Structure 1
Amino acid sequence: MINYKDRIVSDHQVMLGKPVIKGTRITVELILRKLSEGAVIADLLAMYPHLQETDILAALTYASDILANEEVIMLKAA
């Protein structure tokens, strides 16, 4: 399993604190959006040559961990 903490960082001075690939301004959101639009890892590596496959996998791991730990609050219907 990928340890995303080595590759994903958040800094309020970079992209307003959104999680990015360390040393870049490429957000996890951008990677997920491109993949959801049909891009594959090879496409992302061609578009962003300074990325590594491990960076993309780290973004996916980060996103899945965030969702797995998401807290859902149920509100009563009015």
Structure 2
Amino acid sequence: MESRIQIYPDVCNGRPVIAGTRIPVQTVMEFLGAGDSIEEVLEEYPSLNREDIYACMQFAARLMANHYEVRKIA
């Protein structure tokens, strides 16, 4: 799944995109975060498939696992 997400400086300003497209991972995650189903995302972007959506979810989950700050509670 990792190869489904690509990052190139000259594509979408270096944002992670689905391989072979200019569709950013962020866009897919925003649709899902707004409550759209995977099927609705696929209807909006017919060039994608279910594995592309799963790859976006996996990429975002890995990113969150490595990039957050824990704040101390006073």
The normalised TM-score by structure 1 is 0.84
Report the secondary structure of 1:72's partner residue. Answer: coil
Tell me the CA shift for residue 70 of structure 1: 1.6
Q: Could you say what the CA RMSD is over the residues aligned between the two structures, in angstroms? A: 1.6
Q: Mark the runs of 5 or more structure 2 residues left unpaired by the alignment.
A: none
Larger radius of gyration: 1
> Which letter maps to 1:24?
T
Give the length in aligned residue pairs: 72
Q: Mark the runs of 5 or more structure 1 residues left unpaired by the alignment.
A: none
Tell me the CA shift for residue 31 of structure 1: 0.4
Tell me the CA shift for residue 73 of structure 1: 7.2
The normalised TM-score by structure 2 is 0.88
Tell me the CA shift for residue 72 of structure 1: 2.7
Deviations 1:35-77 (A, max 9, x none): 1111101011111111010000000000000110125376xxx
Q: Give the aligned partner of residue 23 of structure 1.
A: 20
Q: Percent identity?
A: 35
> Which letter maps to 1:34?
F
Find out whether 1:42 has 2:39 as its counterpart.
Answer: yes
Find out whether 1:59 has 2:56 as its counterpart.
Answer: yes
